[in-house]
Chains A and B, each alone.
Chain A
Amino acid sequence: MNQSKIKNSASSSNPMRVYLDYQSTTPVDPRVMECMLPWFTEYFGNAHSSQHSFGLEAAEAVEEARNKIARVLGAEGREIIFTSGATESNNLAIKGASRFASRYRKGKHIIVLETEHKCVLESCTALAGEGFRTTILKVGTDGLVDLDKLADAIQEGTVLVSIMAVNNEIGVIQPLEKIGQLCQKNGILFHTDAAQAVGKIEVNVNNMHVDLMSVSGHKLYAPKGIGVLYIRRRPRVRLLPEITGGGQERGMRSGTLPVPLIVAMGEACNISDKEMYSESLRLIELRASLLEQLKNMIPDLIINGSMKERVPGNLNISFPNTNAMDLVKSLKDVAVSTGSACSSTSKDPSYVLNALGLSPSITRGSIRIGLGRFTTQSEIDYSARSIANQVLTKKNNEKVAAE
């Protein structure tokens, strides 16, 4: 694996600077980069200029990437459309499917989880103005959906259930297969935001009975600005498009396709899928090592969310009575976060952690640590020491201040 290259790129001036925020975003894998670069310069055609060979070779590359991604999801190429990222995919899936369903079939009711990504929740809010109602399901203290509550929430007019595959803050994996079965039984569309899942856990749209699935490029070592929406064809799921115009992506998403980003996304999916098993084992070991070291130094730390149903690269822990925002800022050479990057500038405590029923002092002291493809044991050792040092210093300061 090309570890040295990326680490150096992030730490050219500093001998040790560690990136542990892989749920926020990931660096582009050098292999993905290599695959992508020629499409910027040598093969630059517009994939829709189907009458000349510049356009045709670009179109072929797009189709090849589409098929690669489809294979990883257990789908067919023509069920994949490209978007500018998972936010757009989620917007399109939720608004597009709900609007179509309400226009041509039944009701105006949607079910989501309290811990969904902001863009899912806000898409539902946007629909409220059109008469849609949303049931926002609570999660358990482990962060997982309660299937009985979900079954109870389904009503006559329910058209869509949107439940994320893996949570972006606490990394917990929802029981997609069971949710999918429940939706299928009730004839309800099932959308899952799989931005944090693809490349990290097995996903299969057929086994999981998923009708719509959002995927992000920059969470799996492809660049930012590219994403995918899987749209089931059998039985066919229909959407009202959000972005119309030239009629690209079979009318579901207009706009000139960013060919290099698409090629990168295809290759990134391919690599993540191929290496998933060995990479998972490696990350589980690194995470265990990190947790053990931290626990030794700070015995009262608390793990937020289920540890069993969690992706290998995520750890969300709380240091009671510590201000995590200060902690993150004072960790000059270790990049971790207090939660989702989107809302990280806000001072509000994480709504995901609140949903777990944690006390404010625990929520306030929580950090998200994201491990990934280029994380090494020595980085883990270094980070464990840095984090523990900062936490202990802060606790000490507070104690002194209190006295």
Chain B
Amino acid sequence: MDVYLDYNATGILRPEVVIAMQDTFHLFGNSSSVHRLGRLARSAIEEAREKIASVVGVSPTEIIFTSGGTEANNLVLSNKDIPVFISATEHDSINAVRLDSKIVNVDINGVIDLEHLEKMLGYTDRPSMVSVMLANNETGVLQPIQQVVNVARRFGAIIHCDAVQGLGKIPFSFSELGVDMLTISAHKIGGPKGVGALIVKEGVDLPPLLVGGGQERNRRAGTENITGICGFGVAASLVQLALEQIPDLEKMRNKIECGVKAEIPEVTIYGEEVARLSNTSCIGLPGLSNESQVMALDLAGVYVSAGSACSSGKVTPSHVLKAMGFNDVAASSAIRVSLGWQTTESDCDAFVTTWTEMAQRILDSNELCGLVT
């Protein structure tokens, strides 16, 4: 039995997306070519752009397609001359880009400290940039973007929001958030890997990262990934459907959390006291290493992850949990359970049963201490 509960790492492709992508292989022209096949490819791309634009509430010309969320985030930070302020729980594709980024604290629930942001912005007299994520990939905790914008605007800063984990999981629009730039990714919403977008408000100046053929209005060179882009378009048009599923996902997620807490009262659910994504649960049992948890669950056919999927196999203490004030042991003992459009009640039951049995076994044998050094 396969129980996939790792949607924040990557979603399961929606069948509508697969069909749409298969259709694009017939539109194989280069979208920059003048001939008919080129124009057909171009119009498919523009159609996808319009779909995505309408979902986030922007003009199609404000969308730059990239190879994914990571590239989009890197593009945001491509102007090395401007001071950057980021929250302490940003994704690596934000916090690893500039070594001189100024880190804004978060509280014990992972929510950004607005006073700290204000204080830090007050120290600089240069125009700066603030980048804060909409929803955290490990805990699902939501950041008060509108309040961040209120503070940052007072200092004339440009504001970017990494909404990769937010799209399709909470309703929002670009204008509601009030930011200048926004990152989204296809494969987190049931679309394909290898495509994402940066939304840049009209009039905001941004130097390109990739230069060359002048595609994407000179803001991102490279032949457009038409299959990916069309898949992204269809996935975006299903965002509304995904949003309607929120109450069900929340019910299932809460059931998981109640289930594990009932059996093992020692668990910690990170960020549970504040607003967070309805599909995400960050469950910790300090002393029980997340690596062994994930592997034990894997043997039983239950797939979750130890924090972010990105770090290519190395399990290091979560920088997110550490930023929230937890020690290395706690930050190495939490797993992320994330639900999605194909998740069922029985998946959740299977997780609870498997996880609690494993945890109980270890608690009984008193092996907890010393597991993590």
Binding site for B on A (CB under 8 A): 9-10, 12, 17, 19, 21, 24-28, 33, 37, 40-41, 44-46, 48-55, 83-88, 90-91, 117-120, 122-123, 125-126, 216, 218, 223-226, 242-248, 254-261, 325, 328-329, 331-332, 335-338, 340-345
Would you mind naming 9 contact pairs between A and B with Cβ atoms under 8 Å apart?
A: A25-B29, A50-B313, A91-B209, A245-B96, A246-B92, A256-B69, A338-B34, A342-B32, A343-B213
Which of these, B4, B30, B70, B295, contacts A24 with CB under 8 Å? Answer: B30
Q: Is B291 touching A225 in the complex (CB atoms < 8 A)? A: no
Q: Is B298 touching A342 in the complex (CB atoms < 8 A)? A: no
- Report how far A262 CA is from B212 CA in the complex, Å: 23
Q: Is B298 touching A51 in the complex (CB atoms < 8 A)? A: yes
From B145-153, B239-247, B301-309, the one touching the partner chain is: B301-309
Which of these, A54, A91, A223, A338, contacts B303 with CB under 8 Å? Answer: A54
- Which residues of chain A are near B119, meaning CB under 8 Å? none
Which of these, A117, A259, A335, contacts B29 with CB under 8 Å? Answer: A335
Min CB distance B145 to A, Å, is 21
B208-263: which have CB < 8 Å to A?
A: 209-215, 221-228
* Interface: B21 (CB within 8 A): yes
From B190-198, B268-276, B321-329, B343-351, the one touching the partner chain is: B190-198
- Report how far A6 CA is from B37 CA in the complex, Å: 13
* Interface: B97 (CB within 8 A): yes
- Report how far A335 CA is from B38 CA in the complex, Å: 9
- Report how far A396 CA is from B235 CA in the complex, Å: 52
- Report how far A343 CA is from B32 CA in the complex, Å: 8
Q: Is B222 touching A332 in the complex (CB atoms < 8 A)? A: no
Among B2, B29, B212, B311, residue most surrounded by chain A Cβ atoms (within 10 Å): B212
Min CB distance A161 to B, Å, is 19
- Report how far A91 CA is from B75 CA in the complex, Å: 13
Residue of A nearest to B222 (CB): A87
- Report how far A125 CA is from B298 CA in the complex, Å: 50
* Seed contacts A83-B67, A226-B194, A256-B69; 18 additional CB < 8 Å A-B pairs: A9-B26, A19-B28, A21-B29, A21-B33, A21-B38, A33-B25, A90-B212, A91-B210, A225-B195, A243-B70, A246-B93, A246-B308, A247-B96, A254-B92, A257-B194, A325-B34, A337-B35, A342-B212
Min CB distance B206 to A, Å, is 14
Q: Is B13 touching A41 in the complex (CB atoms < 8 A)? A: yes
Given A46-B6, A54-B6, A258–B25 Cβ distance below 8 Å? no
Among A51, A125, A328, residue most surrounded by chain B Cβ atoms (within 10 Å): A51
* Interface: B74 (CB within 8 A): yes
Given A55-B309, A119-B213, A254-B310, A40–B13 Cβ distance below 8 Å? yes
0/1 per residue, B87-122, Cβ < 8 Å to A? 000011110110000000000000000000000000
Given A53-B298, A54-B4, A246-B312, A256–B213 Cβ distance below 8 Å? no
- Which residues of chain A are near B309, meaning CB under 8 Å? 46, 48-49, 55, 246, 256
Given A247-B96, A337-B33, A342–B214 Cβ distance below 8 Å? yes
- Which residues of chain A are near B30, meaning CB under 8 Å? 21, 24-25, 218, 341
Q: Is A225 touching B28 in the complex (CB atoms < 8 A)? A: no
0/1 per residue, B278-317, Cβ < 8 Å to A? 0000000000000100110110000111101111110100
- Which residues of chain A are near B93, meaning CB under 8 Å? 243-246, 254-255
Given A51-B298, A223-B25, A258–B213 Cβ distance below 8 Å? no
Q: Is A254 touching B70 in the complex (CB atoms < 8 A)? A: yes
Q: Is B4 touching A26 in the complex (CB atoms < 8 A)? A: no
Q: Is A118 touching B70 in the complex (CB atoms < 8 A)? A: no
- 6 tightest A-B CB contacts, nearest first: A119-B212, A246-B310, A225-B225, A342-B213, A258-B194, A245-B93
- Which residues of chain B are near A17, meaning CB under 8 Å? 36
Given A258-B193, A260-B192, A336-B35, A52–B225 Cβ distance below 8 Å? no
- Which residues of chain B are near A125, meaning CB under 8 Å? 211
* Interface: B333 (CB within 8 A): no
Q: Is B92 touching A25 in the complex (CB atoms < 8 A)? A: no
- Which residues of chain B are near A247, meaning CB under 8 Å? 92, 96, 310-312
- Which residues of chain A are near B18, meaning CB under 8 Å? 40-41
- Which residues of chain B are near A340, meaning CB under 8 Å? 213
0/1 per residue, B47-81, Cβ < 8 Å to A? 00000000000000000001111110110000000
Which of these, A117, A224, A242, contacts B209 with CB under 8 Å? Answer: A242
Q: Is A224 touching B37 in the complex (CB atoms < 8 A)? A: no
Residue of A nearest to B9 (CB): A46
- Report how far A49 CA is from B59 CA in the complex, Å: 35
Residue of B nearest to A49 (CB): B309
* Interface: B12 (CB within 8 A): yes
- Which residues of chain B are near A87, meaning CB under 8 Å? 210, 212-213, 221-223
Q: Is B223 touching A341 in the complex (CB atoms < 8 A)? A: yes
* Interface: B10 (CB within 8 A): yes
* Interface: B187 (CB within 8 A): yes
- Which residues of chain B are near A33, meaning CB under 8 Å? 25
Q: Is A9 touching B25 in the complex (CB atoms < 8 A)? A: yes
- Report how far A68 CA is from B259 CA in the complex, Å: 47
B147-201: which have CB < 8 Å to A?
A: 187, 192-195
Q: Is A88 touching B67 in the complex (CB atoms < 8 A)? A: yes
- Which residues of chain A are near B227, meaning CB under 8 Å? 223-225
Which of these, A52, A338, A342, contacts B305 with CB under 8 Å? Answer: A52
Among A218, A225, A340, residue most surrounded by chain B Cβ atoms (within 10 Å): A225
- Report how far A25 CA is from B227 CA in the complex, Å: 13
- Which residues of chain A are near B222, meaning CB under 8 Å? 84-88, 119
Q: Is B298 touching A52 in the complex (CB atoms < 8 A)? A: yes
- Which residues of chain B are near A345, meaning CB under 8 Å? 32, 34
- Which residues of chain B are near A52, meaning CB under 8 Å? 6, 294, 297-298, 303-305
Residue of B nearest to A91 (CB): B210
- Which residues of chain B are near A256, meaning CB under 8 Å? 10, 68-70, 187, 193-194, 309-310
